[in-house]
Structure 1
């Protein structure tokens, strides 16, 4: 049986669950292990968008956290009827989500974000945590970022999770232009959302980690600002959480075991506009957050797994070293045995590390 047939069977099961309470207790007819056997070409225990043989839209439907990789957790949440959730239904009762707020334009179309706010308005302007989704710059959605902001909103932040143009729509620098536009929008509307324009933090995983890091180091770099809106505002940020984001594409694609990322058609190639990565010297330099590192950059928290088979750990090591050389506060935490995302990154200690970093950076008391 083909993977298309198997996945279609899952959808039929999920659809039938709406009709009957008894059927909502049924298990999916295909397990993640079955999908893994058929789709996991490099046998690393997960399925990337490039390995997935069914439609890209179905992949995005399963990819609940928008990191461009299917894991057992993603698959279970996507296909188990009892776990299917509409956007925002899992938002705590003490919070509200302003959905699809238009923050600017990219490529002539509107760009949107979700804003997560406490229902009880703070007495003073709050810091902001902006989440940027992953997905190899070619997939993923902003919706999964709502949950990423909840722990910070509980600690006095306003949360935002943003969209940006993917490589199927435009090559670099469209992605960072859109992210910078989102930051400028929040500054321009600080009073509207009761936020502190001088305390904006960004975070992201994988491709989102790359864009978060680039926001952190390229503040004031005019050629990356774009023309999406709010040109009178700054796109600088005051703290960065970078989860296993790529940085130096040259080192990336020449690392043993990662050479396939050099090929035309790889996510990195598509970001650069096509062709072999290694031959695009100017593009490699332009997308690299390390290129723009200087002493004015904000503090960074960088987390990466030693067993990451999608982005080598040397990417995080390289930017950490560059930040330290520039006398910028940077903490690199390497999780032994962790892959590209996965359960280790949901460990309470790792979650708490991110919250503590941001609250301490912005002087928020317990």
Structure 2
């Protein structure tokens, strides 16, 4: 069978640039670590450029808004590219999507993780022209532990800054927090109730996800975890935030996290800065969060503030 078809050329090609070093840090043992990110963007047909020397059609490489994806994994560390397959819709919508690795709780204790996120934002601004990014339009989004860190970055405080890429702002313009544990203390208190249950996952506060994140003396972990909870940093400089949480989340119940965060935002008189959606029947990162309807909801929210 031989046919002539005309598919058109409206959809732009996507390019993935992997293993970009954005920071050099130390782990708990003092060993040097290169922290890396990947960047997914529409910047022409890369393989065609290598073969033919130019795009067809030639691309107009305008600066684009950027979104920094912060992975989850209980702060214990995950591959920065694990969820990258779900990011193509955002890149197709005209966003540069950067997906980062940050130090795990086995490599460093809080506040290392939010320091890494803020460093990554500053890196994107410092290298904006290289990756076709508009440095004035950068958002953050993440799931679970990444949602916690995205919400933290959204508070736009001047705390937890490193010297790397100094001179560039770490401020976020918009945020999407997907079921992040934004009150670490409330979650610890709930987990503590089941320590005496033989079938419980945790039996000591220091073994929980939050306990590993905070580290140090178990007797003061909960007190110190207050400084790791974004609910305690709500302030007028906070950027607009989209909150997504399932009403059937067994790991981070919404009443111990997103409900508290949204209430704090309302109490501060900033309800106009937050849109809170509860996904019916959704668990912790279940497939409901990655349906086209939800992705389009996120894109529409980002568009309000970045386009």
Q: TM-score, normalised by structure 1?
A: 0.69
The DSSP-based 3-state class of the residue aligned with 2:82 is helix
Is residue 2:247 matched to residue 1:306? Answer: yes
Is residue 2:234 matched to residue 1:293? Answer: yes
The DSSP-based 3-state class of the residue aligned with 1:144 is coil
Q: In the aligned structure 2, how far is the partner of 1:123 from the partner of 1:292?
A: 38
The DSSP-based 3-state class of the residue aligned with 1:264 is helix
Name structure 1 gaps, 5 residues minimum.
Answer: 1-91
Please tell me whether the aligned partners of residues 138 and 306 of structure 2 are also in contact (alpha carbons under 8 angstroms).
no
Higher RCO (Cα < 8 Å, 6 or more apart): 2
Residue 123 of structure 1: CA displacement?
A: 4.3
Q: In the aligned structure 1, how far is the partner of 2:194 from the partner of 2:296?
A: 35
In the TM superposition, 1:210-289 aligns within 5 A as: 210-221=148-159, 224-227=160-163, 229-255=164-190, 259-260=194-195, 263-274=205-216, 276=218, 279-289=220-230
Q: In the aligned structure 1, how far is the partner of 2:60 from the partner of 2:266?
A: 35
Q: In the aligned structure 2, how far is the partner of 1:286 from the partner of 1:226?
A: 17
In the TM superposition, 1:72-151 aligns within 5 A as: 94-107=13-26, 108-120=32-44, 122-151=60-89
Matched positions, count: 268
The DSSP-based 3-state class of the residue aligned with 1:213 is helix
The match for 1:66 is none
Question: Of the candidates 92, 117, 130, which is equivalent to residue 179 of structure 1?
Answer: 117
Q: TM-score, normalised by structure 2?
A: 0.81
Q: Following TM superposition, where does structure 1 have runs of at least 4 consecutive aligned residues deviating by more than 6 angstroms? A: none
Name structure 2 gaps, 5 residues minimum.
Answer: 1-10, 27-31, 45-58, 196-201
Q: In the aligned structure 1, how far is the partner of 2:286 from the partner of 2:76?
A: 20
Q: In the aligned structure 2, how far is the partner of 1:163 from the partner of 1:358?
A: 22
Provide the aligned C-alpha RMSD in A: 2.1
The match for 1:65 is none
Q: In the aligned structure 1, how far is the partner of 2:288 from the partner of 2:216?
A: 34
The match for 1:352 is 296
Q: In the aligned structure 2, how far is the partner of 1:133 from the partner of 1:163?
A: 7
